[in-house]
């Protein structure tokens, strides 16, 4: 009697483990299994697209609600980092003056200061804005030098007990690299129209004439700073000069010295606006500067970051700001 094998013979190109699935069973070759897998992939794709469309619609709706011409709000202006002149920021502040939807303005400040011109620009712009809208300045971590110059333009200054405040003063930095240049064999020569042209120069120490000229520049700017602090904080000039030796203080001391009005943050600012300026406490607070990225811009930025990561560009340095000339700055 012929022997009948208990297992099917091996067939070329077919794995015995899956041979039984060619016409039935639950293996990957089963037509029903393949159809179910295709259907599952389609549903996943559909669900992903549905979620993406819903998020996009929500983002667009939020953007429309935010800038609804009939909606009143409190404008939030963020001032952080090193302060310099800024035409875009100035334009926003000027537009807030005539915007009927804006019922008040909150300044959120976190800055060591910056150029004297940048601080003056902000002081003048906020002073003009204050004539049309109530303005509250909130010093979060740091409000020094030109940043404090900015804050005093507001109707009220609020800070935390441990915020850093002050550094009322003006500074002109100069690096004398003459010794270094001589060491490496570089000798600079110049022809100038006058003894103070292009002074101070980096290849030599200041002469008494140059130092006196720069001191006059610093003193004149400093006196203006002292005058506006005295006027806005209702301090005598003598008392202001005592506080304007460049010192920094925390919020607790700043309140005792009359440099700020109260402790707190945004909640306390809104409470004051409601009690003292009749601004409804339930108005939304919208950040108008720097203008937040839209939903589409955030989406594109994420895609760009992912693409940059894939291309190995994520470690490229960003361009930073530099300062030159007369500054009202605590520390970089």
Exposed e or buried b per residue across 107-125, where buried means at least 16 C-beta atoms within 10 angstroms of its C-beta: bbbbbbbbbbbbbbbbbeb
Given a contact cutoff of 8 angstroms between Cβ atoms, the answer to whether 138 and 107 are in contact is yes
Q: Give the whole-angstrom CA distance, residue 230 versus residue 228.
A: 5
Pairing of strands 102-115, 327-329: antiparallel
Check 111, 145, 167, 230 and give the catalytic one: 145
Pairing of strands 248-250, 164-166: antiparallel
Instruction: Please report, for residues 105, 222, 246, 247, the alpha-carbon distance to residue 116 in angstroms, rounded to integers and kept in the order given.
Output: 23, 9, 14, 17
pLDDT band at 27 (very low <50, low <70, confident <90, very high): low
- Is residue 85 over pLDDT 50? yes
Based on the residue annotation, tell me whether 145 is a catalytic residue of this protein. Answer: yes
**The predicted structure's pLDDT at residue 19:** 47
Q: Give the whole-angstrom CA distance, residue 137 versus residue 108.
A: 6
Cis check for the bond before 91: say yes or no (omega within 30 of 0): no
pLDDT digits (tens, 9 = 90+) for 198-210: 888 777 888 899 9
Exposed e or buried b per residue across 201-240, where buried means at least 16 C-beta atoms within 10 angstroms of its C-beta: bebeeeeeebeeebeeeeeebbeebbebbbebbebeeeeb
Q: Give the whole-angstrom CA distance, residue 123 versus residue 128.
A: 9
What does the mean pLDDT of the chain come to? 81
pLDDT band at 32 (very low <50, low <70, confident <90, very high): low
Q: What are phi and psi of 161, to 5 degrees?
A: -60, -30
169 Ramachandran zone, left/alpha/beta (phi>0; psi -120 to 50): left
Query: Where do the structural domains in the chain lie, given as residue ranges?
Result: 25-63, 71-169+205-303
Check 39, 71, 95, 197 and give the catalytic one: 197
Q: Give the tokens for residue 6.
A: 């208990």
For the domain made up of 71-169+205-303, give the CATH fold: 2-enoyl-CoA Hydratase; Chain A, domain 1 (3.90.226)
pLDDT digits (tens, 9 = 90+) for 291-301: 765 555 555 55
Instruction: Please report, for residues 29, 176, 177, 189, 217, the alpha-carbon distance to residue 180 in angstroms, rounded to integers and kept in the order given.
Output: 78, 9, 5, 15, 28
Q: Give the whole-angstrom CA distance, residue 159 versus residue 178.
A: 44
Q: Which helix (H) or strand (E) holds 288?
A: strand 285-289
Average pLDDT of 297-324?
49
Q: Give the whole-angstrom CA distance, residue 49 versus residue 38.
A: 17
Based on the residue annotation, tell me whether 190 is a catalytic residue of this protein. Answer: no
What pTM was estimated for this model as a whole?
A: 0.72
């Amino acid at each position: 009697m012929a022997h009948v094998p208990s297992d099917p013979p091996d067939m070329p190109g077919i794995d015995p483990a899956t041979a039984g699935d060619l016409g039935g069973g639950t293996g990957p070759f089963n037509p029903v299994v393949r159809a179910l897998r295709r259907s599952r992939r389609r549903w996943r794709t559909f669900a992903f697209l549905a979620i993406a469309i819903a998020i996009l619609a929500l983002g667009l709706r939020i953007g429309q609600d935010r800038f609804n011409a009939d909606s009143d709000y409190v404008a939030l202006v963020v001032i952080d980092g090193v302060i310099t002149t800024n035409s875009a920021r100035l334009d926003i502040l000027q537009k807030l003056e005539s915007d009927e939807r804006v019922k008040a303005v909150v300044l959120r400040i976190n800055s060591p200061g910056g150029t004297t011109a940048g601080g003056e620009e902000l002081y003048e712009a906020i002073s003009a804005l204050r004539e049309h809208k109530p303005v509250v300045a909130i010093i979060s971590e740091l409000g020094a030098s030109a940043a404090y110059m900015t804050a005093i333009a507001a109707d009220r200054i609020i800070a935390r007990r441990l915020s850093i405040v002050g550094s009322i003063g003006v500074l002109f930095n100069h690096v004398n690299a003459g010794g270094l240049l001589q060491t490496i064999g570089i000798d600079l020569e110049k022809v100038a129209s006058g003894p103070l042209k292009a002074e101070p120069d980096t290849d030599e120490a200041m002469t008494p004439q140059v130092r006196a000229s720069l001191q006059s520049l610093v003193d004149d700017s400093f006196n203006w700073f002292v005058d506006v602090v005295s006027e806005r904080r209702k301090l005598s000039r003598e008392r202001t000069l005592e506080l304007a030796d460049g010192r920094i203080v925390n919020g607790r001391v700043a309140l005792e010295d009359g440099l700020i009005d109260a402790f707190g943050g945004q909640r306390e600012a809104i409470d004051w606006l409601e009690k003292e300026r009749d601004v409804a406490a339930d108005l939304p607070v919208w950040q108008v500067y720097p203008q937040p990225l839209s939903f589409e811009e955030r989406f594109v930025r994420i895609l760009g970051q992912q693409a940059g990561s894939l291309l190995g560009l994520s470690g490229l340095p960003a361009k930073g700001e530099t300062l030159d000339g007369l500054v009202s700055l605590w520390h970089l």
